[in-house]
Amino acid sequence: MLGKASTDHQASLVGQLKESQKMDPAGQFFYLVPNHIKFEAEVSILEALGQEKLTEQNLFAQSNVQVLSFTRLAWFFLKNTPYYQIPRLSQSGLNMLVYQLISEHEDDLTIFRGEKTQTGFISQLVSQLKELKVGCVTVDDLTRIAGTFPTTGDLGAKLHDLQIIYRAFDAAMANRYIENNDLLAELSRYFTEDGLRTSYFYIDHFSQFTAQEQELVTALIKGAKQVTIGLVLDQGNANKVAEKTDLFYKSSRLYADLVGKARQVQIPVLTDSYAQPKENQNPDLSLLEDFWISSRRLVRTQSESLVHSDSIQVFEADSRYIEIRQVATKIRQLVATKGYRYRDFMILTRHLDSYETVIPPVFNEFQIPYFNDLQHAMADHPLVELLAALFEVKAKHYQYGAMMRLLKTELLIPQVDTVEMPIERYRSAVDLTENMVLKYGFSGSQWLRKDDWTFYRFDFTDADEQQTDKDQAITTQINQIRHFVQVILPPFFEQLDQATTGEAGAKLVYQFLVENGVTKRLLSWRDRYLAAGNIARSEEPEQTWQTFVGMLDEYVETLGKQTFNADDFMALIQAGFEGASYSQVPSTLDQVVISESGMVQMNNRKITFMIGSTDMVMPEQVSQTQLLTDDDRAQMAGELTAEQYLSDSAISQMAAEPFLNYLAFLGPREQLIFSYPSGNDGEKNLNPSPYLMMIKEHFNLPTQQLAANPELTEQSALDFVGTKRSTLSSLVVASRLAKTRLSPMPNSWLYLLRQLMADSEIGPLTKQLLGSLDYKNVPVKLTQEIITDLYGTRLDTSISKLETFYRNPFEYFLQYGLKLKERDVFELSPASTGEFFHMGLDELMKAVADNNQVYANVTKEQLDDYLNAILKDIRDLPQFQILGSSSRMGYIAKQLSLLLKQVTHAMWQQGQQTKMKPLKTEVLFGHVGAESGLKALTYALPKGRSVNVRGKIDRIDYMKGESKQYLGIVDYKSGIRKFDFSDAYYGLSMQMLTYLQALIENADAIAPDTGLETAAAGAVYMHLQNPKLKMADVQAKGFEKTLLKANQMDGLLLEDNQLLGNLDTDFEDESLGYSLIYPFRKTKKGFTSPSSLSKKLITQTDLNLLLGHNKQLITDAATDIFSGSTNLSPARWNAKKTALQYSPYKSIFQFDAMLPENNYHEISKLSWEEIERRLTDGEDDE
């Protein structure tokens, strides 16, 4: 049965079948099609047969007609034979068997040695072995061929290894297992022994056969009463095969082969018949067919016009998403307005994986039922992930990554009081467990320890953090997960280690999964998908489990008696799943079919969409992915017989591209619509297919642009009408466009708006989404109820928090109002490093004081002894356990200790040259409930509220003068820090002034001599460092002075001659110059700042101005916080420095300086003179 693609081979063949039924009612009739379309072909053929035989109940039954694929034909005839009862290995089982064979023969291999662990290699090798079998190339044939090539060459090495594996494969399979391809060979033998004289065979939709299929068809020709084969071929000539460049070359070659085989066995060949034209075939598609055939035969043709301009259309889209969205809109509109059914549409492209993430969400939004032909691999199913993670946990001894992979499969869930933990609670518990594992670095034996994990917080910025009831609840949840792991995994791993055979190991794995409820959870997933109407997804849990159980059966069958090795077992399971995919059956008859143009399709559609018609895939850029390359096949070709052949080379596949696309082009009866994206993520400047360009130019077709977004026109509204939800999306875009352009909405859009607003289902969402057009990225001011819930009536805060408020009020709200925090990770953060230094220095000062010593008077050796003991204790504290977690951390701990020793030596050296001595360290003020400390800075606010400022002063130094005693502040910093008057003025650097205020207000409780007037000496920063010294400086000034200069403190000092004269003993006599300890110098005129550009000395009057302003900043900030201020106004110093730079909340801010409502708080650089003038005149910072 011949005919071009525009003819209806199936209708013609079914017509002959009907006639044969009338002539031979007792005959058996078999209609054979590719397995890919068997279901749809069966439905279509039975509908055609039943048209004349429907009962009154519209029923039709047929017992002597079977629509089958070749493999189902084997089942039909062989199902009751002994051969069919032999265990059959699936693709997964074959992968496992070959993996084991490679392991056993690895020492004999050359080029394949060590390749078994490479992803995809096992599947490639299995495919190659199957290709050899399908091509009727036996082991002996391959060994003979391998002998003709030297093993030193690439092909010789491949054939050497292949024949070793092939022979072992054949031996392992012989009389023990079969695979599907073996059934065809057995069926051919069966047909030669058992007559088929009452059977009629109709073979359709094939353009070529494998060697095994060819052998089977030959057996049918010999034994059946009649064999009729439908071929897409314009004319048959058994004596001359068409040229290789001809469109019908493959069909012509197959025709000649079949006729030749029939004549060879003296079977009469009937006269060819030709298929009838498709019913209601669009004549324009016939024009396309004629052009395509002529173009492949290099016949020059004149351009022509279509009868109907919309028969063949070309669309260009900016992206794949827009392309698919417009296709969905078109289908939806045609079904709604033109009487089409969803089954009338076919969507084809060369590779569906490019659209894998695009089609489902779009078609679901448009509520279009569809069947996606793309094979979905099982390798990503949670069950497969569970198995991999389970054995990885065993191999890597409870490492973080493996544990989280295992727990997040959600297939192992603990029970609480004999009831399975609810899934939401379980997810929360796993998240909390992961947070704790990351925070404390728990892994390995930590999961198995007897003591419970305890959740506690370390906040190095606030010393009053206490463990709360919430923390206790978190601890309980975390330990539920840990106990569950502790109960189920160690016993299982111990049993696996004791398993001696493969059968015992497989049994343990199966029992572990069943006993821990994995099968129940898989079934619950199936039921949930079914309840949601997602039939395709509902089949995945069961199919994956059945595949796994089948692999276990095959594993036990093939390797059950061998020694069990857990690593090899898991590698075999993974190799098995590598080749496994879900079987798919359409869930309904009325749905859009989405498939690939390289696959055989039914040609009963009305409209075909050829999406993705780019030069990348039309024609296909065939690449070599098989073990035997095209060159290898070409070299082997001379060694194969006429009945043996391998699959086509890449060149042959490329030559077949015009024919494959021809079949796709002529699939529909009414319309063919091409579309292509001009670009996509990672795919810039995509070009239309050359095939498409040929068609476009021949028929003078325009390229229509698929609009990415709707326009403010009447027609545009019609182009974007789909479902209610999809139309709403377009309406929102159109409305925003109208708002931006200040243009009125066209009537068609207004009509859609009214319809959607009035709809009870979509109306509320319509109102909500359209309300977004007036949205501004401006935080809402807090209500008084929320303010009270968050902050109460007394704001207990640290000065660093208020500095955050001045940097960005909205960040303050997020961080300290809502208490949003980034997830803690097991790392040595700057905060924890700082706490390490602070604690070390504090304990050192206390140790010196406890021994009634003065810091400056102890020796360096004594300091080192003190510090060594202190550091040992510090490293044992929970918050610093990270320092002992690895060799790298051990090295860092050593470096930190060395740095701390250097700092203590620098402080000792400074103490030799100043009368200012350490008095107290780590002094708390304002901490409620603290055993010791100073009173807070408390200020009254309006409406009966107050602000309580707390803090911790690193060190308070003391010096007794002739008429005064002085208290000074030293603040430790891990980086270089200088006092900035401008930042202090704007509230961005309030720490030093606040600490000075706390010092002054608590002077009576601090100063040793109550009979002397107490004055604030100032506040300075000390850089905790191990400085690098320049050799030139050491040689010129000496080591001690150079080191002192490198460790010089910086900050703000009181301009007081009595104070400054004693701060550096170098100036006790008439010496002049720069202090090596503090930021000042002595000239003939007296004490001054080191530079006229950097003010370091300040009078008491000016200090009082700054302290007064600082107090005002505190109360202003607190007042604003209590007023509900959450302004999004990040500070900006200059183009390179803003408060957003290092903020972890940027994704919440969504700050965009291009939006009119988002503005920076500009920080102008002010001189001291300008600040002094403003403070004196009472001006604010605006």
Is the omega angle on the peptide bond into residue 541 within 30 degrees of 0, that is, cis?
no
Side chain identity at residue 724, one-letter code: K
Place of tokens 């259309």: 313
What does the pLDDT read at residue 1104?
94
Place of tokens 């989280």: 404
For the beta carbon of residue 982, count every other beta carbon within 10 angstroms.
17
What does 255-305 look like in DSSP terms, one character per residue?
HHHHHHHHHHTT---PPP-BPEEPTT--HHHHHHHHHHHHHHTT-------
Q: Which two tokens stand for residue 493?
A: 């791993």
Cβ-contact 566, 397 below 8 angstroms = no
- Gyration radius of the chain over CA positions: 42
> pLDDT digit string (tens) for 1116-1174?
999 999 999 999 999 999 988 999 988 999 999 999 888 888 899 999 999 999 999 99
Q: Residue 7: beta bridge partners?
A: 277
Sheet architecture: strand order including 1086-1088: 1073-1074, 1081-1083, 1086-1088
Q: Which two tokens stand for residue 166?
A: 């092939």
> pLDDT digit string (tens) for 729-759?
889 989 988 888 888 888 999 999 999 999 8
Question: Is residue 150 scored above 70 in pLDDT?
Answer: yes
What does the pLDDT read at residue 463?
44
Residues in the chain: 1182
What does the pLDDT read at residue 802?
95
What does the pLDDT read at residue 127?
84
Cβ-contact 442, 467 below 8 angstroms = no
Cβ-contact 924, 998 below 8 angstroms = no
Q: Which two tokens stand for residue 394?
A: 């065993």
pTM of the model: 0.73
Q: Which two tokens stand for residue 691?
A: 């095939």
DSSP classification of residue 618:
T
What does the pLDDT read at residue 682?
57
1174: number of CA atoms within 13 Å, CB side? Answer: 16
Q: What is the mean pLDDT of residues 504-517?
A: 93
Q: What is the mean pLDDT of residues 364-388?
A: 86
Q: What is the mean pLDDT of residues 488-517?
A: 92
> pLDDT digit string (tens) for 61-91?
777 899 999 989 999 998 888 888 887 777 7
What does the pLDDT read at residue 458?
56
The 3 state secondary structure assigned to 417-428 is CCEECCHHHHHH
What does 57-117 look like in DSSP terms, one character per residue?
TS----SSEEEE-HHHHHHHHHTTSTGGGS-B--HHHHHHHHHHHHHHHGGG-STTTT-TT
Query: What are the CA-CA distances from residue 286 to residues 289, 671, 827 (Å)?
Result: 5, 11, 70
Write out the E strands in 1010-1090: 1013-1023, 1050-1054, 1073-1074, 1081-1083, 1086-1088
Provide the pLDDT confidence category of residue 287 given band limits of 50, 70 and 90. Answer: very high
Residues contacting 241, CB < 8 A, separation 6+: 249, 252, 253, 256
CA 146 to chain centre: 46
Provide the pLDDT confidence category of residue 464 given band limits of 50, 70 and 90. Answer: very low
Q: What is the mean pLDDT of residues 296-314?
A: 88
Instruction: From 194, 257, 192, 273, select the one nearest 17 (Cα to Cα).
Output: 273
What does the pLDDT read at residue 460?
46
Side chain identity at residue 646, one-letter code: L
Parallel, antiparallel, or unpaired: how do β-strands 28-32 and 7-8 relate?
A: unpaired
Instruction: From 2, 61, 456, select the one nearest 274 (Cα to Cα).
Output: 2
What does the pLDDT read at residue 579?
67
* Cα–Cα distance, 87 to 66 (Å, whole number): 26
Q: What is the mean pLDDT of residues 624-633?
A: 79
Question: Is residue 467 scored above 80 in pLDDT?
Answer: no
What does the pLDDT read at residue 928?
63
What does the pLDDT read at residue 587?
65
Cβ-contact 674, 320 below 8 angstroms = no
Q: What is the mean pLDDT of residues 252-270?
A: 88
What does the pLDDT read at residue 54?
59
Query: What are the CA-CA distances from residue 1099 to residues 1017, 1057, 1089 (Å)?
Result: 11, 11, 12
* Cα–Cα distance, 2 to 216 (Å, whole number): 21
Helix axes 657-665, 283-296, angle to 10 degrees: 170
Q: Which two tokens stand for residue 619?
A: 């024609």
The alpha-helical segments, DSSP class H, found in 886-980 are 887-911
What does the pLDDT read at residue 201?
94
Parallel, antiparallel, or unpaired: how do β-strands 946-960 and 937-940 relate?
A: antiparallel
Place of tokens 């170098």: 1066
> pLDDT digit string (tens) for 409-458?
999 999 888 888 999 999 999 999 998 888 878 888 889 888 888 876 65
Q: Which of 574-588, 821-835, 981-995, 1091-1105 has the highest mean pLDDT?
A: 981-995
What does 963-989 look like in DSSP terms, one character per residue?
SEEEEEEEEEESS-----HHHHHHTSS
Provide the pLDDT confidence category of residue 459 given band limits of 50, 70 and 90. Answer: low
Q: Which two tokens stand for residue 261?
A: 């085989």
Residues contacting 760, CB < 8 A, separation 6+: none
Q: Which two tokens stand for residue 141?
A: 């044939």
Question: Is residue 1182 scored above 60 in pLDDT?
Answer: no
What does the pLDDT read at residue 449?
86
With b meaning 16 or more CB within 10 Å and e meaning fewer, what string describes 909-928?
bbbebbbbebbbbbbbbbbe
What does the pLDDT read at residue 988?
94
* Cα–Cα distance, 650 to 167 (Å, whole number): 28
Cβ-contact 564, 572 below 8 angstroms = no
What does 726-757 look like in DSSP terms, one character per residue?
HHHHHHHHHHHHHHHHT-PPPHHHHHHHHHHH
> pLDDT digit string (tens) for 525-546?
999 988 887 777 888 899 899 9
Cβ-contact 883, 890 below 8 angstroms = yes
Report the SS3 class of residue 659.
helix
Provide the pLDDT confidence category of residue 108 given band limits of 50, 70 and 90. Answer: confident
Query: What are the CA-CA distances from residue 965 to residues 111, 435, 960 (Å)?
Result: 86, 51, 4
Question: Is residue 380 scored above 70 in pLDDT?
Answer: yes
What does the pLDDT read at residue 1033?
84
Query: What are the CA-CA distances from residue 1139 to residues 21, 392, 604, 802 (Å)?
Result: 86, 44, 64, 14
What does the pLDDT read at residue 930?
60
Cα angle 883, 889, 893 (rounded to 5 degrees) comes to: 60
Provide the pLDDT confidence category of residue 1105 given band limits of 50, 70 and 90. Answer: very high
Q: Residue 377: beta bridge partners?
A: 581
Cβ-contact 831, 460 below 8 angstroms = yes
Helix axes 382-396, 535-559, angle to 10 degrees: 50
Query: What are the CA-CA distances from residue 497 to residues 11, 32, 99, 512, 859 (Å)?
Result: 63, 51, 22, 14, 60
1007: number of CA atoms within 13 Å, CB side? Answer: 23
Q: Which two tokens stand for residue 306?
A: 């279509």
Question: Is residue 119 scored above 80 in pLDDT?
Answer: no
Q: Phi first, then psi: give them for residue 458, nearest 5 degrees.
A: -125, 110
535: number of CA atoms within 13 Å, CB side? Answer: 10
Q: What is the mean pLDDT of the chain?
A: 87
Q: What is the mean pLDDT of residues 843-868?
A: 89
Residues contacting 827, CB < 8 A, separation 6+: 882
> pLDDT digit string (tens) for 693-724?
999 999 999 999 888 888 888 888 888 888 88
What does the pLDDT read at residue 717?
85
Provide the pLDDT confidence category of residue 465 given band limits of 50, 70 and 90. Answer: very low
Percent of the chain whose pLDDT exceeds 70: 96
For the beta carbon of residue 164, count every other beta carbon within 10 angstroms.
21
Residues contacting 401, CB < 8 A, separation 6+: 392
Query: What are the CA-CA distances from residue 327 to residues 112, 603, 738, 846, 1132 (Å)?
Result: 47, 20, 26, 77, 48
What does the pLDDT read at residue 611?
93
Instruction: From 582, 650, 591, select the one nearest 621 (Cα to Cα).
Output: 650
